[in-house]
Structure 1
Amino acid sequence: MKKYISFLSFIALFFIGMQFSSAQTADKQQSPEAIAKQQTYQLHKLLNLTGDQQGDIFRVLVDAQQNLQVLDKKDNTDIIKQEGTRTVNNNVEASFKKILTPEQFKTYQESLVKEEKK
């Protein structure tokens, strides 16, 4: 009887582990739109974006995510990936500066500094 309980426990743990690992894989393979939607929501909470700002920010973030995914898929060196990521981030920041009010942009930059310290 103990053998059966041990065996069933092992099988249950195996399936729980499989479920956990597939959930992590699904997170990594989110679409650029899903990632941008989450980021837009977080920025909306932080900056109280208007509807127009939300739409513009979402489009900028989708474009950025698509570019970052292309960089990840290519077989580039670390230096090329870093330069590409830096270029994408600079483009996002320049677009945000055009979309956001000066106060919102200042709050956004302050939040980036706080994130870097973590």
Structure 2
Amino acid sequence: MKRYITLFSIIALFFVGMQNSNAQEKKQSPEAIAKQKTHEIHELVGLSGDQQREIFKLLVDAESNLSAIGSTNQNIESSQKTRAAVMDNTNTRIKAILNPEQYAIYMRSLEKEEKK
């Protein structure tokens, strides 16, 4: 009986390990990333419901564009320029959605992230 319990435990650990490794290999979808970032921005500046919806749509679009850039075979320099253009466009559109006070808080948080 003890052998069966040991065997069962080893098999269970094997399957848990397989599930964990599969979860780490999967990339998150643009929607999942946008949802997480929207939540972070909401926690930071206190978005209204309409602002949350607009920011989410904007970030889904931006994340889709960024993942498309990563999948193309561009050289590093052109890829970085394209990413910077997407991020600049995203920040411009975020500025239009947020009020000036919220945008100032958002920009300060980005500056703190860049310094890290």
The normalised TM-score by structure 2 is 0.83
Structure 2: gaps (5+ residues): none
Question: RCO higher in 1 or 2 (8 Å CA, sep ≥ 6)?
Answer: 2
- In the alignment, structure 1 segments of 5+ residues that lack a partner are none
Q: Are residue 25 (structure 1) and residue 25 (structure 2) matched?
A: yes
Aligned with residue 56 of structure 2, among 43, 49, 58: 58
Find the counterpart in structure 2 of residue 115 from structure 1.
113
**1:83 maps onto 2:87 in alignment:** no
1:100 to 92, 98, 116: 98
Where does structure 1 differ by over 4 angstroms across 4 or more consecutive aligned residues?
8-17
What is the Cα deviation at residue 10 of structure 1? 8.0
| RMSD (Å), alpha carbons | 2.0
Indicate yes or no: 2:39 matched with 1:41: yes
The count of corresponding residues between Structure 1 and Structure 2 is: 112
